Amino acid sequence: MRRLVTIAVIGALSFLSQASHAQVSFTLTPPTTNTTQGSQVCLDVVVTNFTNIVSLQYSINYNSGVLQYNMAQNFNLPGFTAANVGNPSAGNLTISWLANDVVLGQSVANGTSIFEICFTATAANATSNVSFSGTPTPIEVTDPNGILNPVFNNATVIVGSGGGGGSTDLTFIASNESGPTGSQVCVDISVLNFTDIVSMQYSINYNSSVLQFASATGFNLPGMGVANVGNPTAGNLSISWVANDPLNGETVADGTVIFQVCFNITGANGSSSNVGFSGAPVPVEVINVDGPLTPVFDNGLVTVTAGGGGGNNNLTFTASDETGGNGDQVCVDVTVQNFTNIVSMQYSINYNSSVLQFTGGANFNLPGFTGANIGNPTPGNITISWLANDPVGGQSVANGTVIYQLCFNITGASGTSSNITFSGSPTPVEISNPNGIVNPTFDHGSVTVTSVIGVDDFAIILSNANIESGVNVCIDMSVQNFTEMVSMQFSINYPGNLLSYTGAQNFTLPGLTGASIGNPGGAASGNLTLSWLANDVVLGETVPDGTVIAQLCFTATGPNCSTADIVFSGTPTPIEVTDVDGNVTFNWDGSTIVICDTEPLNLSASDETVAPGDNTCVHIRTVDGFTNIKSMQFSLAYDPAILDYTNVASISLSGFTAADVANPVAGQITIDWDSPSPAGTTVPDNTILFDLCFDAIGSSGDVSPVNFTGSPLAILVENPNSPVPFMGTTVR
């Protein structure tokens, strides 16, 4: 929110008074310090929005095996001295301070270093996080209006050898994070001296009474994705990865966050959980081109903080988790709970600009909120600012309302991902209701890039289905480029609240039987496991493209017109596929089961192959369900670096003209059609409705999906009586 808007709110609501201010933040700086063994390093504690602060207390933790605390110095906060910094035990500092004026508090300018903490580096080739936390002293920061919810930014100290040496300096570092109960945090796993690494495996352990594993994301190591992170039991993660080039290995820059592990915080305020590396349940084994290495591990910590005071602490913003292939467009839902009498809001949302390209907002369902309330000042950063139409009573919306969507073009490679993270940068978090500042809970989202299956790729493909609730359906599991395959294992996940697994049948792959498919946890658990070994492990097994190797059967238990997605993953069974030459990249296309008594409209777009510089046309045809359709609108997305839209052709749909097709920006096409008949239009199955034509401007070997999407024009199909579910089959 622009500061001008905040001033307008305060002017309209004098009783908000001093309560409306941005979050106070404490930052350890510099964020990364490189030093040598035996040297001293000092970190400044820098503050912003330190306005009328009455008291503060918190802890700072460091690795006592790497750093030795020396002293605090350079005090620039009235009343703060060395006596306000304690060192009760190695690895822990405690900070406590009370303003000289306990009525009005103390203010200092943004960017002030209120004190420094100094350490001596005692270890060689090691790293220590220096992090704010609530252990041993709980976090509490107050101003005249009550308890505040501060923002903390941590630091890292990297210690070189200083002339010494060790068995190895490959280092894995887990970050320290904090958040209130009910929020989600993501722990960075970063590396140092990750040079010519061929393979790695290890475990990460956490306290399952404090944290619940949510997902792995933020992959920045080639060949690493969600399939490489398992969660075999609560409290344990398994990590396994093999370089794409096993001869030369893989090298990444120091400080690279190779992935993140995200947790939902379930523990009570003041509790904490180590996020530590170990050899159980998966033993530690790291290999470079010269052989095994002994890595250094620097564990992390998640601390549960208070949710803050002075407002409705149950206000929650949730960003959805989405998936899509390179070139697809996805829209992330931002949903709210307890959005009651909200007068104003401002905050930031951050994303990985190397994976996603922001295209705009959509689906606005908050009065007064439009695309003008969303900014994109720099790649990777989105700003949100909004003021209620009624600045006295505020605005309320129902729980579960999607107040807006953020839409992105996916530019990242298969297996990469981007967090969608609420934050206070560049726009600080500030939300108010008629009673003052509200401290929200943020539940972050993500976008994961799935594979786009090429014509020469090994792949397993599941069929789609449309069924009524209570009906059993069997979906086909077919294969592509299944040549000299020796073994495969993977997991299949489905929504247990919508589908109940009933069994597998019609096995045609030699050696694959009912015993090859497991259902740990039962029919409604949501998890299947598959493991198979060829009868001939020397020559492997080959079957023709399109062979249905088995069918998976489910009973639909979900409500009418719900949608169940069935996907492949590495949890609970990690993905591993081999042929006679070694590991094979696993590509897949999941299933969408629409549970609806009204038959959905199902359209498809054709696969086409074209030479560079030529023109080609993609057929948009009916699969089924085009019965008494009164109107339809939807969008399609394509890669504008590979295709250039030229025209619509071969129109057969009654009432459809070129005016019903728009190309608002490169990469997006919108379709908006109304039937000329009040009773709607019926078209036979497998009818080409129209063609969309493109010039091929990419290079030989490029692949552009052409995807049905809901942005920029939302999907809406209607018959004379009601909305009709829509299914669009993506071109691969």
Residue 673's pLDDT is 94
Q: With beta carbons less than 8 A apart as the criterion, state whether 99 and 54 touch.
A: yes
Taking only the tens place, the pLDDT of each residue in 63-121 is 988 888 888 888 889 988 887 888 888 889 999 888 888 788 899 988 888 998 988 88
Query: SS3 for 529?
Result: strand
Q: Is 110 left (phi over 0), alpha (psi -120 to 50) or beta?
A: beta
CA pair distance 444, 419, nearest whole angstrom: 7
Taking only the tens place, the pLDDT of each residue in 651-695 is 999 999 999 999 988 899 999 999 988 888 999 988 999 999 999
Is the pLDDT confidence value at 5 over 60?
no
- For residue 662, the 8-state DSSP code is E
Phi, psi of 72 (to 5 degrees): -110, 150
Task: Please name each of the domains of the chain with its CATH number.
Answer: 1-166 (2.60.40.680), 168-308 (2.60.40.680), 310-450 (2.60.40.680), 459-595 (2.60.40.680), 601-729 (2.60.40.680)
CA pair distance 693, 686, nearest whole angstrom: 19
Q: What's the average model confidence in pLDDT over 170-199?
A: 86
pTM given for the model: 0.37
Residues contacting 207, CB < 8 A, separation 6+: 235, 267, 272, 273, 274
Q: With beta carbons less than 8 A apart as the criterion, state whether 114 and 76 touch.
A: yes
CA pair distance 509, 186, nearest whole angstrom: 41
Taking only the tens place, the pLDDT of each residue in 234-270 is 888 989 898 888 888 999 987 788 998 988 888 887 7
| Cα distances (angstroms) measured from residue 368 to each of 365, 404, 432, 441, 557 | 9, 12, 16, 22, 38
Q: Mapped to the 3 state alphabet, what secondary structure does 697-711 carry? A: CCCCCCCCCCEEECC
The segment with the largest mean pLDDT, out of 559-563, 584-588, 654-658, is 654-658
Residue 711's pLDDT is 79
Mean of the per-residue pLDDT values of the chain: 84
* CB environment 111-129: b (16+ within 10 A), e (fewer): ebbbbbbbbebbbbbbbbb
| Cα distances (angstroms) measured from residue 695 to each of 363, 368, 426, 610, 649 | 31, 41, 40, 9, 14
Determine which of 17-26, 141-150, 619-628 has the lowest per-residue pLDDT on average. Answer: 17-26
Dihedral angle sign, alpha carbons of residues 82, 83, 89, 95: negative
What is the helix (H) or strand (E) element at residue 678, kind and residue range? none
CA pair distance 462, 310, nearest whole angstrom: 51
Residue 332's pLDDT is 93
